[in-house]
Amino acid sequence: MKSKDRRIRSEMTTNQVLEAIRHRRSIIRFEKTPIEDEKIQAILEAGRWAPSCLNGQPWRFIVVTDPTIKETLAEFAPSLYKVGIQEAPACIVVSVDPKEEPFHFIEDGAAATQNMTLAAYSLGLGSCWVGVFRLEGEKGSNEEKIKKVLEMPKTQRVISLLPIGVPKRWDEKKNRKGLSQLVYRNKFKNRAE
């Protein structure tokens, strides 16, 4: 292993942010263990401090703990995530208002979601980014159904559902592509060494 690679790997195990990025997992099954309000608040704070275009902060967060509402939300999620949304003690719905940031609202909501997944991991909790956003915002979409259940304004766009709780298990991270497969220098044809 090259000395630069060793240094980067060492940094990723000693730097708390880099460690969280590397070891966070998508958790789809949760224990029934309640989550302390302080942890939910810390996760919401992490979302609040996400970067956004021109600091527009177009996001809104709905913390859903009511089992009946979570059950209904689960109906609108892809089948892989249904049970997790039902089991998780809390599910944070991340939405944005495109009128507040018409050009980068999707990225802004995604950044807030990512911050919250990392915060959950750092607090010993699991989470899973469940995407529901549809570019066209078509009538009758799951996004529209979620907005109706949560009595959200029509202007809001749902970016993600984020079930949060104590994981039933932590799975090993699947292999990741090497940087040499992903990085180019100056032009796309110039692979990085």
Is 108 inside a domain boundary? Answer: yes
CATH number of the domain to which 32 belongs: 3.40.109.10
User: Does any domain span residue 158?
Assistant: yes
The 10s digit of each residue's pLDDT in 119-134 is 999 999 999 999 987 7
pLDDT tens per residue across span 86-120: 999 999 999 999 999 999 999 999 999 999 999 99
**Pick from 160, 132, 125: which is nearest to 25 by CA?**
125
Residue 156 maps to a domain: yes
Q: Note whether residue 17 is domain-resident.
A: yes
- Classify 2 in phi/psi space as left (phi over 0), alpha (psi -120 to 50) or beta: beta
163 lies in a domain?
yes
With 70 as the cut, is the pLDDT of residue 11 above it? no
Classify residue 191: in a domain, yes or no: no
Residue 153 in any domain: the answer is yes
Boundaries of domain holding 99: 9-182
Q: Does residue 192 belong to any structural domain of this protein?
A: no
Residue 89 to residue 9: CA distance in whole angstroms = 34
The pTM for the full model equals 0.89
Query: How many domains does the structure of the chain reveal?
Result: 1
